[in-house]
Amino acid sequence: MFVSTADPVLEPPIVTVNTVLSLLAVDYPAHKLACYVSDDGCSPLTLFSLIEASKFARIWVPFCKKYDIQVRAPFRYFCEGESTLPSSHFPPEFLLEWTKVKDEYESLCQKIEGAGDHSVPLDISGDYATFSHKQTNNHPTVIKVIWENKQRLSDGLPHLVYVAREKRPNYPHHYKAGAMNVLTRVSGLMTNAPFMLNVDCDMYASNSKIVLHAMCLLLGFKHEKQGAFVQCPQICYDYLKDDPFGNSMSVTLKTFWPGIAGIQGPLYAGTGCFHRRKVIYGLSLQDSTGHVQGNLDVEALKDRFGNSMELLSSATNILAEKVDHPRDLSSAVEEACKVACCGFEHNTSWGKQVGWIYGSITEDLLTGMKIHARGWKSILCMLDPPGFVGSAPTSVPVMLTQRKRWITGLLEVLFSKNSPIFSTLNAKLEFRMCLAYIWILIWGLHSIPALCYSLLPAYCIMTNSHFLPKIGEPALLMFAALFLGNNLYNLYFYLESGLSITAWWNYQRMGPRSTVLSTTSLLFGTISVVLKLVGISEVVFEVTQKDEYSSSSDDDQNANDANAGKFTFDESPIFVPPTTLLFVHLTALAKSFLGLKLASSAPQVSTGVGEIVCSVWVVISFWPFLRGLFEKGKYGIPLSTILKSGGLAVLFMVCCGKFALPL
């Protein structure tokens, strides 16, 4: 079980701790499980938190299994309180144990919080001595065996290992893909399980039997080609009412995911996924067991997996489907540090044909596509309760940053040798699967026509021209029918799914191909890839900020609820295009209503009602930005953004022509 975290500030350790605790407590024999935590921030605070969490796990895990607790992330369980079980099921001693465990969890939170704000100083000695004088991007490998189930007890605690791979300024570290490949090698030396689960640090196990479900799917087919990996959909627990920021995937879960599962299976979403280790090692369907056993040349394996005889031995066992005998974890730490160094992958197949594939910051989709291209299929696992649940971005800047990273990575794949078109022509990616991948990869390109169409109504109003038929012309009915039909169909689908009209409107405004998203995340993601393609700048991986779990007072919670769903703004340039569009359309509508004309406007052509309706539609879509012009603090658009947007709006109007008052 792999858990990845990259920044103790953006991803607070208490978030990672809850995910780890939920994994340690799943209903599966503990001696068959091992949890590896990748800390790309190389933070002593993260290690401290995991060590303290391992102590709490010794009472948390038995408590969960004794009383069959369903929610096994402590922060969620204690938020719901005693209502998590019917009162009739409470044994007499339950409340005493519940209170004790809750007190211990609160103590754990206080320790981590105290270490984080330095009110409880960390002693840089013992386990933490290796962190002295370390920089985030310049440090050797740090591997600590926090807990080892030496007696291999099925009802004990699974292994828990901390891994901070080596980083040096002159070596590329390949972001999350590089971290996952290090965990694959380290775990191959220590436990070498034939199956691997990876989750993000905020995706806790919400179904205690998720591992059992996944194993049934992976082992339940006559032909294992049906299941290279099992993917659980990404579901969040903290969606705001009516989803004002467009985070919910409820519609996608009912349409796209089941549909694509009928071709070659779901996409690899980067979290909540169970992999066959031998598939991650690059095994194709043609490589039968006998074929592999007959072609395990040592030199070829070195070229493929690297110069570590212990790793080659473990990889050989996986590829030949041999049972690997348990080993002492502590004795493998030295060799594990070698395979986690930044130069180990040089002149090997790691990141190319083996492991998570490099070449995009959306390593998940690229890796999954390469697996499908080798002829494998994947399996969709949709449970109730869901297998894994995570946190959704709770502010607009964080949400837009996350979407921008997605768009950038998708376009990196599209405009590279890893494009699904080549995988269909030269490999075994099915044609329909290729179309599904392309439909996702071109998501960011939607920003170009969306931006043009967003400007077109304002341009027509300013130049006294039109692009839609006028009232009285029969062709106008066709455009009106298309517009109403599309929106009414989407509205009907939302209502049939039990969602509200407000949720539908929020999806229209903030959904994957909405006007707001197209002129922010999609546009900036596209620009980032264009700059990379022309050699001006490289793509930067931006970690999504996670909210820290805390026990706020009722007053604070009520204040937060009152402002839930309100847009927040910062000085990021990502807010400039939509604010500019808002200024442009407000100016165009003012020109139309006041009867102003541009000097270059056509004298015998007039703007129709259609253009005005479209302009009003754009303004309504940007309504949160209009409110932001009059709000203060984080809910108001910064003055610098307003000035930049105003300048661009004036420039657009100058390009259209100059104002001339009618005489």
- List the catalytic residues: 40, 364
Q: Peptide bond preceding 397: is omega within 30 degrees of 0, i.e. cis? A: no
Nearest C-alpha neighbor of 427 from the set 371, 355, 352, 348: 371
CA 424: distance to chain centroid? Answer: 26
Tokens at 546, concatenated = 């996670």
Say what angle helices 396-414 and 431-441 make with each other, to 10 degrees.
140
Q: Is the dihedral of CA 202, 206, 208, 212 positive or negative?
A: negative
Question: Could you tell me where the beta strands, DSSP code E, fall in 371-512?
Answer: 378-380, 388-390
Separation CA 365–CA 270 (nearest Å): 7
Tokens at 427, concatenated = 């490999």
Say what angle helices 175-190 and 363-373 make with each other, to 10 degrees.
60
Return the number of other C-beta atoms located less than 10 Å from residue 632's C-beta: 7
CB 397 within 8 A of CB 572: yes
Separation CA 45–CA 8 (nearest Å): 7
Q: In what order do the strands lie in the sheet with 378-380?
A: 142-147, 159-164, 34-39, 2-5, 195-200, 273-276, 229-231, 378-380
- As beta bridge partners, residue 197 has 274
Dihedral of CA atoms 90, 92, 98, 103 in degrees, nearest 10, equals: 160
3-state helix, strand and coil shares in percent for the chain, rounded to the nearest 5? 55, 10, 40
Matching residue, tokens 């039997």: 209
Nearest C-alpha neighbor of 236 from the set 544, 26, 561: 544
CB 371 within 8 A of CB 228: yes
Pairing assessment for the beta strands 34-39 and 229-231 based on DSSP bridges = unpaired
